[in-house]
Amino acid sequence: MVETQIISRDIEDKKVINAMKKVPRHLFVAKDLEEDAYNDHPLPIGLGQTISQPYMVAQMTSVLGTCGSSRILEIGTGSGYQASILAELVAEVFTIECIETLAHSAERVVRGLGYENIFMKIGDGTLGWQEHSTYDGILITAATPFFPLPLVEQLKDGGIIVAPIGDKSIQTLTKARKIGNKLHQEQLFDCVFVPLVGRYGWRE
């Protein structure tokens, strides 16, 4: 997977490549999908949600530009795979999932793998996790019409927030750096994600 889908494309960050090599992706999907886990597409994880395509996970991680001492907030734990990739690269990962069943299943897998630097919460991620803020980086792994205000407020000055921004059918992966009270945005490429619901997302 890493040779053909990650390195052969445009991912050059050695640390991201090594994390993608290390985390066993098949453990994050149902038994009957294990054989498909390393293929070049997203997979269902139940309840209408997905684990993103490996290349998309690598891209989002690279765009976030993580470094060893960082504290990252992820919105949309899903299977826990992206959180585990981040946990290989940074000091602490805080991740929020709104679907209880998915959060519990993700927690079993990440604890089974021994990650002690992943902190999980069940709830509306659009409100962020104030108690542990501010964050060096925030990654939203669901489609949102805009960057939710509480998340921008919980981002450090100089920090980076990344999200698929657009409508429900197509989005653009967007990276923004917070400088003072302003977000300096960069639109990267088109993508398709399941919707971010909640107070500052799409209304269910």
Kindly list the residues in this chain that would bind ligand SAM in the complex (CB under 6 A): 49-52, 75-76, 78-79, 81-82, 96-99, 102, 124-126, 141-142, 193-194, 196-198, 201
Distance CA 157, CA 82 (A): 24
Closest distance of CB 125 from ligand SAM, Å: 3
Distance CA 204, CA 199 (A): 10
DSSP 8-state assignment for residue 42: -
Closest distance of CB 126 from ligand SAM, Å: 5
Cβ proximity to ligand SAM, 157 vs 167, nearer residue: 167
- Bin 43: left if φ > 0, else alpha if -120 < ψ < 50, else beta: beta
Q: Is the separation of the CB atoms in 176 and 154 below 8 Å?
A: no
Distance CA 139, CA 83 (A): 10
Strand partners, 140: 75
Closest distance of CB 69 from ligand SAM, Å: 22
Cβ proximity to ligand SAM, 70 vs 105, nearer residue: 105
Distance CA 84, CA 60 (A): 13
Does the annotation mark 52 as catalytic? Answer: yes
Q: Which of 8, 52, 70, 169 is catalytic?
A: 52
Cβ proximity to ligand SAM, 52 vs 70, nearer residue: 52
Closest distance of CB 68 from ligand SAM, Å: 21
3-state class (DSSP) for residue 44? strand
3 contact partners, CB below 8 Å, separation of at least 6: none
Catalytic residues: 52
